[in-house]
A and B are shown apart, each in its own frame.
Chain A
Amino acid sequence: MNALTQVFTSSIGRKYIMGITGFALIGFVIIHMLGNLQIFIGQDTLNAYAKFLKTSPEVLWAFRLGLIAMVVLHLAAAVSLVRDNRKARGVDYKKEKKMSTLASRTMILSGIIVLAFVVFHILHFTVGAIGTAYNAHSLPLDSEGRYDVYSMVVSGFSNIWISGFYVLSVGLLCWHLSHGFSSMFQSLGFRNARSGPWLNKAAYGISFLIFLGMAAVPLAVLFRLVK
Chain B
Amino acid sequence: MNVNLRVWRQPSDTKKGHFEDYEAHNLNTNMSFLEMLDVVNEDLTLTGRQPIAFEHDCREGICGSCSLMIDGEPHGPEGKVATCQTYMRSFKEGDLITVEPFRSKAFPVIKDLIVDRSAFDRIIQSGGFVSVSTGSAPDANAVLVPKSSADMAMDAAVCIGCGACVAGCKNSSAMLFVSAKAAHLNSLPQGQPEKDVRVLNMVEQMDKEGFGNCSNTYVCEAVCPKGISVDFIAKLNRDYAIASVRTKILGR
Contact = CB atoms under 8 A, between A and B. Distances in A.
A85 B238 contact: no
A87 to B, nearest CB: 7
Given A88-B106, A99-B223, A12 B215 contact: no
B46 interface: no
A94 B98 contact: yes
Interface string B1-31: 0000010100000000001000000000000
Contact of B213 (A81, A94, A179, A186): A81
Interface of B is mostly: mixed
A188 interface: yes
A96 B69 CA distance: 9
Range of interface residues on A (Cβ < 8 Å): 35 or more
A99 B168 contact: yes
A193 interface: yes
Contacts of A107: 215
A43 interface: no
B217 A100 contact: yes
A104 B216 contact: yes
A56 interface: no
Contacts of B69: 93, 95-96
A171 to B, nearest CB: 21
Contact of A97 (B72, B173, B212): B72
Contact of B217 (A105, A192, A193): A105
A89 B170 CA distance: 7
B128 to A, nearest CB: 16
B190 interface: no
B215 A85 contact: yes
A67 to B, nearest CB: 24
Interface stretch (B83-91, B133-141, B203-211): B203-211
Given A90-B105, A186-B230, A189-B241, A95 B71 contact: yes
A2 B19 CA distance: 47
A105 B233 CA distance: 18
A55 interface: no
B81 interface: no
B150 interface: no
B173 to A, nearest CB: 7
Contacts of A179: 216
Contacts of A94: 6, 8, 19, 98, 100
A183 interface: yes
B142 interface: no
Contact of A93 (B100, B215, B234, B241): B100
Interface of A: 1-3, 6-7, 9-16, 81, 84-85, 87-97, 99-101, 104-105, 107, 179, 183, 185-193, 196
Interface of B: 6, 8, 19, 69, 71-73, 98, 100, 103-106, 108, 168, 170-173, 175, 203-204, 206-207, 210-219, 222-223, 229-231, 233-241, 244, 248-249
Q: Which 4 A-B pairs have the closest CB atoms?
A: A189-B238, A88-B212, A100-B217, A3-B248
17 contacts: A1-B204, A11-B206, A11-B213, A12-B236, A12-B240, A15-B237, A85-B171, A85-B173, A87-B210, A89-B212, A93-B69, A94-B100, A97-B72, A186-B233, A186-B234, A188-B238, A191-B234
